[in-house]
Amino acid sequence: MSSLINVFGILMLIMLMPIQGQVVKMVMVEEESQVLKGPIVSGQVNNQIIFQDIGTGKVWDVELTDVSRLFQFSPNGCDVVVLQSFEGDTKIGTLSIFDFSFKELPPLGTPIWTLDNENIIFLSYNGTTQSTKIYISNNKGEGLVLLNTINEAMLFPQWLSNDELIYQSDGYEWLVWNIKTNNISNFYNESEIIPNEFSQQPFYNTSNISPDHKMIAGFFDFTSFRGATSDNTSEGITELMPLKPQIPGFDIFFMKENTRLHVDISEQFIQSLVWASTSSKIAITTDYDGPDYGVFVYDLKKNRLQRLGDAYNDYQFYIPSWSSNDEWLAFRTPNGYIAQHLLDGNTISLDKRLTAHQLFWSPIMDYSNTICSP
């Protein structure tokens, strides 16, 4: 199915289409005749998934019955991974962003496609036994094989190479699991990279490894601070906020050089920190009770910190999201979500219905020649 979707005038299409026991209730598109250009940004609001084409401004959505959850785009850019629950039956699979057809995947957790897109890894964690079963299938979820069972959680998984997956154990060590050999080894020794004066401080987060796996960002984590308070109300948090981080801003630890770079951002906690895929930039949101609640971008190559704007303040947690080429950043402001192009400063207001805590970008930046099979 081609992504060249024509919309004639203003169209409201009511679809009653079976999707593995589910019903797509309504699709609404209100745009003039046009084709998709990309990139596409998506977010979930209740049981509705909303899509917006940055290139054309086109907006469309799908409403799923019962409980649903949007996870991510699949690598082909033609589908999103969703979890659906219908009358007690939970399914996970891919949902076409074009015709909303649903293809079920094994119900074993969020799928992780290999870098070559030939296989999918499933990490199925059992909280009772505190173990993770590792499965592999082809890129359609077929031919499922159990590879290994590990007696702990595998947190923050990411590819080191096409055959090596790094993850953080529930003991906070970073380990490497090799698909072909099933061997597990240490990725790095934290004590050799991050001095105890940082790593042993309360609420100091060192889980943010750069996508090129050469740096670690550390900061005093407002989310952990908030979760550790007994009075988790806006008033209770406000009373505790004078306990500012001992080291404001954030640190970048370079693994190979064994050096540290400190970036100062006011006397406040950091709410979220997100690496760009090229590892050359970092998006930061500061905490909402601090003196300067905003969204910032730090450029490592230029050693420059830039404030993009005010962040939305409702005592919730909103995470900036990067486009796949790192040129666009989506974040929520007091006036709603915007997508800002960091090279020319162009800013696009996103659909007002998008109020999710995080938006997801398509891996494809240009859909003009993309063909999606049904």
Assess if residue 54 is contained within a domain.
yes
- Give the pLDDT of the chain (374 residues) as one tens digit per residue: 333 333 222 222 223 233 333 434 334 444 433 478 999 999 998 888 999 999 999 999 988 876 678 889 999 899 999 887 776 677 889 999 988 888 999 988 889 999 999 999 999 998 888 899 999 999 999 999 999 999 999 988 999 998 999 998 877 788 999 988 999 998 877 777 888 777 777 778 888 899 999 999 988 876 666 555 545 566 655 665 556 666 778 999 998 888 999 998 876 778 889 999 999 999 999 876 666 788 999 999 999 999 999 888 776 678 999 999 999 999 999 999 999 999 998 999 999 999 888 999 999 999 988 777 54
Assess if residue 342 is contained within a domain.
no
Number of domains in the chain: 3
Residue where one domain finishes, among candidates 153, 178, 203: 178
Fill in the DSSP letter of residue 144.
-
pTM, two decimal places: 0.82
The reply to whether 200 and 308 lie within a common domain is yes
The reply to whether 72 and 60 lie within a common domain is yes
Residue whose C-alpha is closest to residue 277's, from 192, 370, 209:
209
Assess if residue 183 is contained within a domain.
no
Assess if residue 187 is contained within a domain.
no
Assess if residue 301 is contained within a domain.
yes
The reply to whether 203 and 311 lie within a common domain is yes
The reply to whether 91 and 122 lie within a common domain is no
**pLDDT at position 90:** 79
Assess if residue 337 is contained within a domain.
no
Beta strand 328-333 with 336-341 is antiparallel
**pLDDT at position 172:** 73
The size of the chain, in residues, is 374
The reply to whether 372 and 279 lie within a common domain is no
Find the radius of gyration of the CA atoms of the chain: 21
For residue 257, how many other CB atoms are within 10 A of its CB? 11
- Within 268-343, where are the H helices? none
Task: Give residue 42's identity as a one-letter amino acid code.
Answer: S
Instruction: Determine the structural domain holding residue 287 and report its residue range.
Output: 194-319
**pLDDT at position 133:** 94
* Rounded Cα distance, 263 and 272, in Å: 15
Q: Angle at the Cα of 257 (from 253 to 260), degrees rounded to 5?
A: 30
The reply to whether 85 and 201 lie within a common domain is no
Assess if residue 344 is contained within a domain.
no
Question: Which H or E run contains 346?
Answer: none
Torsion sign over Cα 163, 168, 173, 174: positive
Q: How far is CA 365 from CA 52, 80, 159, 322, in A?
A: 13, 15, 22, 12
Fill in the DSSP letter of residue 311.
P
Task: Give residue 196's identity as a one-letter amino acid code.
Answer: N
CATH for 248: 2.40.128
The reply to whether 73 and 139 lie within a common domain is no
Provide the 3-class DSSP secondary structure of residue 42. Answer: strand
Assess if residue 110 is contained within a domain.
no
Residue whose C-alpha is closest to residue 9's, from 31, 38, 28:
31
**pLDDT at position 91:** 85
**pLDDT at position 32:** 37
Q: What is the dihedral of CA 204, 207, 211, 216, to 10 degrees?
A: 40
Q: Look up tokens 């359609």; give the residue.
A: 140
Q: Look up tokens 């859909």; give the residue.
A: 367
239 CB-side CA count, 13 A = 8
Residue where one domain finishes, among candidates 128, 151, 178: 178
Which phi and psi (to 5°) does residue 295 adopt? -110, 130
The reply to whether 164 and 270 lie within a common domain is no
Structure token digits, residue 75? 């690598």
The reply to whether 149 and 96 lie within a common domain is no
The reply to whether 223 and 327 lie within a common domain is no
**pLDDT at position 299:** 96
Task: Give residue 132's identity as a one-letter amino acid code.
Answer: T
**pLDDT at position 244:** 64
The reply to whether 205 and 230 lie within a common domain is yes
* Rounded Cα distance, 117 and 112, in Å: 9
The reply to whether 308 and 293 lie within a common domain is yes
* Rounded Cα distance, 97 and 116, in Å: 22
